Amino acid sequence: MKNSLRKQIIVSVLVSQLLLAIGLTLAIVLYSRAQLRSDFNIMLEGRVNTVLAVIHDAEDVSKTLVVEPKRLNIPARDLVEVWDENGSLIWRSPNWNGAPAAVVAGNASTFELDREHGPYRGVVVHKATIFDEEDNPANPLRKVTIVYAASTRELDRRILKIGTLATGASLLLLCLAGLFASYGVSKGLSPMQELAKAAADVSIRNWSFNPPQEARTKRELSPLVDALEVTIASLQRAFDRERESTADAAHELKTAVAILKSSLQLLIYQPRSIDDYQKGLAHALEDCDRLEALVCGTLSVARAQRWAEEGKSDDIQCIDVVNSCEQSVADLHALAQSRSVELRCLANNADECVVRASPADLQTVWVNLLQNAIQHSPPGSTVSLRVSASHPDNALIAVEDAGTGIPAEHLPHVFERFHRGDPSRSRATGGFGLGLSICRAIVEAYDGRIEIKTTDGAGTRVFVSLPTLTKVSS
Amino acid sequence: MRVLVVEDEKRLAQNVADGLRQGAGYAVDVALNGESGLFMAESNEYDLVVLDLMLPKLAGPVLLERYRQSGHETPVLILTARDDKRSIINLLNGGADDYLSKPFDLGELLARAKALVRRGKGKPQPVFAVGDLEINWADRTVKRAGKPVELVPMEYRVLEYLASRSRAVVSKTELLEHLYDYNWEKFGNVIEVYISGLRKKIDSNSGTKLIHTLRGHGYALRVEANAETNR
């Protein structure tokens, strides 16, 4: 089962709110308890004063202190003891058999008691009663100790009530907060769900991606929307390119097969002389060669592209770029001569240009570029191949021709498979529009770059830069 | 019959042209790009245009559109390497008469070409009869009163064209236009030679004359009630 983000957020919000509620309730209860207790103490003190007010000295000689219970107006359940300064009991409320001795003797000012009516809380107060100085000139101040305790049941009940109220209110607020959090989170997450739905609607049949407008305005979601848009657009481009290229390949293959098939069918259409058959078969063989060249070209683009992706190739050697170029120039000498084009190889400060590559691959690149240049050069012009060390760790190879150049509208597409600037001319020379694609795939497989620059009517220059080995490792 | 093949793949164009010449006895012109294709199609009278779609300079569909816009009714057979249905539907709706996917069968191409030419002339039957003369378009044979008549290819082509024009008077210029391709020097008296050859083979052994000469106008292939008046 999948985790729900919504549930997770709601639960964490509720847990934090629960903690807050518990803390608040505790604080309320503890504060009220302290407040009520201090009120209780004040009340006890007030009652002690009431007791004090009914103490007076007896009429006898010893002037013992007496308490007149009749004048005492205190709750019947309260416990009172009055001691004089000599430690003898003056009066004790009748419902009590005496405070614990420790309470009276000790210095504690408060004490707790457990009685059958519940817990009691008491105070011990040492106070002086003031008597008329004329009556008792020797000692107008008589010290007494009053022990007074009252039931705390009422106090406890009030504390409990406050606690219950606080807890109830907290729980109610918690429920409300939970509902609100659930609603808020659902509403907050809805653009995300819509975004997911919009993304799920994208398929190879339908590339349109319509993110909800709300998702775009959310700071957390807008980067996701942007990233999705960019990814989908680039996927679509790649997919379209791939489909187009497959369709182009199919078109070329079908055409090549159509030529071969029609040649053979034409040959068997009617009886012919042996001479005609031989000529026809030679033609068919040429068509076969063409088909083979097309298949090989398509495969070598695919292979070089796979290398570029997987980063491996067989037969990697250290190759001197100048050597490799000179060899290709020599190979194409005959072709150049047949078209009255001069072919030159110029090396400029390129003694140290050594690259790691497959020799056959590099030859393929140079031969393709030179063939293109020768085919598009007017008779009597020059095609030159310049090698230079442009940077300390880069070899720059430039192939220049003085042909008609490439029209600007074709320039962005020249490296695409099966692209032909001028189909009639390329076909007349037997090209499939694969040469430059092969070159680019190979150059990129070796981490190099290939660029083409052209001036309309004033020739084309193709630049290839390849990373070279440093002097030490070479 | 004269056919224009517009196809940029030179070898394929050549094979199609040779097939049409050898298998259908048509005069064939070849255009290697769309621009010259349209120019040739508009400046000559063709009985069929075979059109590739991916053409340099002017794409096949554009060529077709302009050709039809300028009022030409010649049947157009499309050759295509892309067989997505939508573009085929668009082409047929846009004035094409038939299509073939590459790689195609040459025999099928010839059969379709013949059928298109036939229908273009308003002749749905594969065998065309004038009186007791029967011309089989498919295998290019001729019979008079049930007996086969041996014709040289050029004689057959003259007869076929006359038959396709449905008893109308066909001028020498029209015959030259439809029976020879671009590369031939056109001499009027060549036609007279073939007509006389045809007369010998078709009319000499029969009481009813079918090939008529209308001086100053041309020729007609038909049964006439009073043959003598037009002699």
- A7-33 pLDDT, tens digit each: 888 889 889 989 999 999 999 999 999
Which residues in chain B (36-65) have CB-CB distances under 8 A to chain A? Answer: 54-57
CB–CB contact B9 A255 (8 Å)? yes
Q: What is the DSSP string of A192-213?
A: HHHHHHHHHT--SS-------H
- Mutate which of A245, A246, A265, A420 to disrupt the B interface (most B C-beta within 10 Å)? A265
CB–CB contact A424 B8 (8 Å)? yes
CB–CB contact A257 B103 (8 Å)? yes
The answer to whether residues A387 and A377 touch, using CB atoms and an 8 Å cutoff, is no
Other CB atoms within 10 Å distance of the CB of residue B198: 24
The answer to whether residues A241 and A212 touch, using CB atoms and an 8 Å cutoff, is no
Q: How far apart are CA B100 and CA A212, in angstroms?
A: 47
pLDDT of residue A32: 92
Q: How far apart are CA A170 and CA A27, in angstroms?
A: 12
CB–CB contact B102 A258 (8 Å)? yes
Which parts of chain A register pLDDT below 70? 1, 57-63, 101-108, 130-140, 308-314, 350, 419-432, 470-474
The dihedral formed by the CA atoms of B60, B66, B69 and B70, expressed in degrees to the nearest 10: -120
pLDDT of residue A131: 66
Closest CA to B68 of B108, B50, B40, B95: B95
- How far does B23 lie from chain A, in Å, by closest CA? 7
Q: How far apart are CA A172 and CA A190, in angstroms?
A: 27
- A376-418 pLDDT, tens digit each: 888 888 888 888 887 778 888 888 888 877 777 777 777 777 7
pLDDT of residue A471: 52
Other CB atoms within 10 Å distance of the CB of residue A171: 13
B24 touches chain A (CB under 8 A): no
The answer to whether residues A120 and A95 touch, using CB atoms and an 8 Å cutoff, is no
Q: How far apart are CA A160 and CA A166, in angstroms?
A: 10
Bin A345: left if φ > 0, else alpha if -120 < ψ < 50, else beta.
beta
Q: What is the DSSP string of A247-300?
A: HHHHHHHHHHHHHHHHHHHHHHHS---HHHHHHHHHHHHHHHHHHHHHHHHHHH
Other CB atoms within 10 Å distance of the CB of residue A256: 25
Residue with tokens 């707790």: A112
- Average pLDDT for chain B: 86
Q: Where are the domains of chain A?
A: 5-160, 222-307, 313-467
Chain B residue closest to A265 (CA)? B106
In chain B, what residues touch A265 (CB-CB under 8 Å)? Answer: 19, 105-107
In chain A, what residues touch B32 (CB-CB under 8 Å)? Answer: 424
- Mutate which of A253, A424, A427, A429 to disrupt the B interface (most B C-beta within 10 Å)? A424
pLDDT of residue A61: 61
Residues 6+ away with beta carbon under 8 Å from B153 = B25
In chain B, what residues touch A260 (CB-CB under 8 Å)? Answer: 103
pLDDT of residue A290: 84
Closest CA to A356 of A395, A326, A310, A327: A395
B15 touches chain A (CB under 8 A): yes
How is residue B200 annotated by DSSP? I
Beta strand ranges found along A42-182 (DSSP E)? 55-57, 65-67, 79-84, 89-92, 110-115, 118-130, 141-151
The CATH number of domain A313-467 is 3.30.565.10: yes
Chain B residue closest to A429 (CA)? B10
- B78-94 pLDDT, tens digit each: 998 877 788 889 899 98
pLDDT of residue A425: 43
Pick the CATH number of A5-160 from 3.40.190, 2.30.40, 3.30.450, 3.30.70: 3.30.450
- B2-26 pLDDT, tens digit each: 999 999 888 899 999 999 998 888 9
CB–CB contact B19 A262 (8 Å)? yes
Q: How far apart are CA A297 and CA A117, in angstroms?
A: 107
CB–CB contact A424 B33 (8 Å)? yes
Residue B126 to residues B115, B122, B136, B138, B211, Cα–Cα distance (Å):
8, 11, 6, 6, 21
Q: How far apart are CA B49 and CA B68, in angstroms?
A: 12
A259 touches chain B (CB under 8 A): yes
Nearest to B15 among A257, A259, A420 (CB): A259
Nearest to A259 among B11, B18, B19 (CB): B11
Q: What is the DSSP string of B48-69?
A: EEEEESS-SSS-HHHHHHHHHH
Pick the CATH number of B127-230 from 3.40.50.360, 1.10.10.10, 3.30.43.10, 1.20.120.420: 1.10.10.10
In chain A, what residues touch B55 (CB-CB under 8 Å)? Answer: 423
CB–CB contact B107 A265 (8 Å)? yes
Q: How far apart are CA B180 and CA B194, in angstroms?
A: 13
Residue with tokens 């020739």: A459
B102 touches chain A (CB under 8 A): yes
Q: How far apart are CA B182 and CA B28, in angstroms?
A: 8
Instruction: Read off φ and ψ for residue A89, nearest 5 degrees.
Output: -65, 125
Burial of A336 (C-beta count, 10 Å sphere; 0-12/13-18/19+): buried
Q: Where are the domains of chain B?
A: 2-120, 127-230
- CATH for B2-120? 3.40.50.2300
Q: Which two tokens stand for residue A122?
A: 């008491």
Exposure letters A82-100 (e unless 16+ CB within 10 A, then b):
bbbeeeeebbbbeebeebe
CB–CB contact B11 A287 (8 Å)? yes
Which parts of chain B register pLDDT below 70? 184-188, 225-231
